[in-house]
Amino acid sequence: MRIRFVLLFILILYAWIAGSRIFNFNLDHGGSASYISHNHLAEAFLAGQLNLLKAPEPGLLKLDDPYDPTTNFMYRWQDASVYKGKHYLYFGPAPTLVFYLPFKLITHGSIPDTLVLIILVFGTLIFSTLILMCLIKNHFPHIPKQMFILAICISGLANIGPHMVHKHGGIYHVSIASGCFFLTGALFYFIRSLQNRTFPSRCLFLGSLFLGLAAASRPGLIPCGILIFIIWSKLKKELVDASKEEIKRKWFAIFLPYIISLFLLAIYNYLRFDNFFEFGFTYQTGDLNIRALGPIDINNIPSSIYLYLFLPPAFNSEFPYFHILVPDMWNLGKRFYVQAMFGLLAGAPFLWIPLIGWLMLKFSPKETIFNRVKFPLFEFLLIGTAAAITLGINLIYSGCSMRFMFEFATPLILLSLLFWFYFYSLFTDNLKILLNRIAFPLGIISCVIGASFGIETIRSHTPEKLELLEAWFKPVSKFVFNIHPNWEYILHEKPKANLKVKSQLSSMDAARAKAAIDNNLLTDWYVPPRNHHIPTLVSFDLESPETVKGIWLFSRKTSLYESWKKLDVSLYLNGIQVSSQSFSFPEAEKKRLQHAELFNPVRADEITLSLSDPVNIDFKGMSREIDSLSPGYTEILLEKLGGPH
């Protein structure tokens, strides 16, 4: 009962994050910046053709290079492939055939991508849960139920499942989720075939079919066909006494569905692009010119390893506290793009459990007697191979996106759970307790962070859905802010005085200084190089007299926090100076947000800031020449006495 409740809770979370698009879906039919979906391919199939119903814009076909994103943006259908004057879908056809086409045949309508995403992501969780049940039944029968329940939560939340179901995921998330769904299903059926050591042909057939559908969803998963050879080698060893006819039936069951899938996929490619191996990727009209740049590059591996595995998520007091971000990286070439994301080992710390268990095993006293538990080598090979292939493919791809992580996060998490079960079964009682005292907090943190990434996607689409939760969690937000201040919380929660630029006593003009009080994090106020050897002065008028409590300063960020370490504040009322205070920020090179809190609140209608001693240490700890710097602030907020504005 508790297991079903956990699964239902995760399903409800997926549906809540997905939002209203499930019930409010309108399908357009191409053109510049239009939404593209597997529904379009379903319409084409029903019309008896492989190309999409809408033809490319004439202006696109007249371009010298219709694949150049700098010239085709007015005409292209985003990420549709164009070949011989026709639109095609380079995404694999499996989701269309399995979900979209049957729905259209039955209802004559278009199924929302978000609904398909919920089915696929939750289906991946179901297959993951079934795999865990097989592992427990075959190898770890004494695993406590609370471990199994936490394992389900980790499988459904820490694998970025909540992020995958957001309502603007569209065709990109559907294709990736479909590949992961079918790959996880293949792993389950292959592992299930081991339960009675007879390798039922039904399980082998379904595993092979699911593997073929995974390849037809994401062509990058074709190398996962090696899983068939792994299970075939195991089958031949286990069934040495079986008849030739039985072995032949097993061979057809395990190889034929996958081979037929690849054959049909090759024919599908040839009929569209006159090439068995062309999926349409190089003919896409998107943000990159794939024909000129190429889709893969092994030089991307170092950057991709950091981004996919070690990039820490952003943490601040804005609910839900953990956020993805676009990293600051200067060594990326023009062939590489990065979207907002996080590193899996940093955001899902449960993945460190295999290493932690191994260290506990290695450094335990020699007199410790361990339980006799056989390591599930075959299951490890299957899941580990799937994890290695999916991760390896993404490491050489010319770009990093959080959605790509779903297809390798799922097998990596399954692998970590396998090791958790194994070490728990292997260890004696004292080590079991120690292991779980580490594993449970790491698992819970991984679930919280994973759920946060899903909830965070709501903010930019339907922020009203978060209002109630944000109100409930305000005490937590305030507590986190006191430990780890952030600008978003200040902007929303601190009462602020409205400012306008009064005068400039330095070389800066008033227009530039307005950027510090425009509530826009994309604009900066700064002092040009070679203009800050003397204190920089800037004055602001308050729109009406206010009791000033303090000043919040958000540093300008380049390769360092370009701001100042010293601040002198002068406050005036009716032209008379009423207060003058000095502040220093010795950690300005490490902390972007600075706070100058007045000794006593002061009523004023004008404020002058005198800034000196520019920060000249960059993020690498290197000193910079003062004359090369342009210190300033992205935002300045004057906090007044009173309740939230």
The per-residue pLDDT for range 19-73, each reduced to its tens digit, is 755 555 556 555 444 678 899 999 999 999 999 998 888 888 888 888 888 888 8
Q: Are strands 564-573 and 576-584 parallel, antiparallel or unpaired?
A: antiparallel
CA torsion through residues 224, 225, 228, 229, sign: negative
Would you state the pLDDT for residue 337? 75
- Lookup: tokens for 581: 């205070």
Per-residue confidence (pLDDT) for residue 515, from 0 to 100: 87
Joined together, the tokens standing for residue 171 give 């065709």
Continuous segment of H or E residues that includes residue 609: strand 593-614
Distance CA 316, CA 83 (A): 47
Of 189, 181, 151, residue with least CA distance to 2: 151
pLDDT in tens, 116-133: 999 999 999 999 999 999
By DSSP bridging, strand 399-400 and strand 337-338 are parallel
- Domain locations in the chain as residue ranges: 2-19+112-454, 487-640
The pLDDT, as a whole number, for residue 33 is: 46
Task: Supply the pLDDT for residue 5.
Answer: 87
pLDDT of residue 64: 85
pTM value is 0.85
pLDDT confidence of residue 390: 96
Contacts of residue 638, defined as CB under 8 A and 6 or more positions apart, other chains included, come to 496, 497, 499, 540, 542, 546, 548, 551, 607
Class (C level, CATH) for 487-640: mainly beta
- The span from the CA of 621 to the CA of 102, in Å, is 59
Element (H, E) at 18: helix 2-18
Spatial CA neighbour of 313 closest among 408, 425, 454: 454
Q: How many CA atoms lie within 13 A of 155 on its CB side?
A: 31
E-only strand ranges, 388-498: 399-400
Residue 100 is given by DSSP the state I
Measure Cα distances from 439 to 35, 146, 315, 453 in Å. 42, 12, 22, 21
CB 189 within 8 A of CB 210: yes
Output the pLDDT for position 32: 46
8 Å CB contact between 143 and 432: no
pLDDT at 446: 97
Spell out, as residue ranges, where the chain has pLDDT lower than 70.
1, 20-34, 196, 292-295, 328-335, 367, 460, 503-511, 530-534, 643-645
Which helix (DSSP H) or strand (DSSP E) does residue 34 occupy?
Answer: none
pLDDT at 511: 62
Residue among 319, 314, 643, 316 at smallest CA distance from 468 = 319
Residue 92, token pair as written in the block: 């694999």
Q: What is the pLDDT of residue 539?
A: 87
**Residues 370 and 427: beta-carbon distance below 8 Å:** yes
What Å distances lie between residue 352 and 324, 382, 442, 443, 539, CA to CA?
A: 20, 20, 9, 10, 52
CB 398 within 8 A of CB 335: yes
Pick from 506, 591, 588, 502: nearest CA to 542? 502
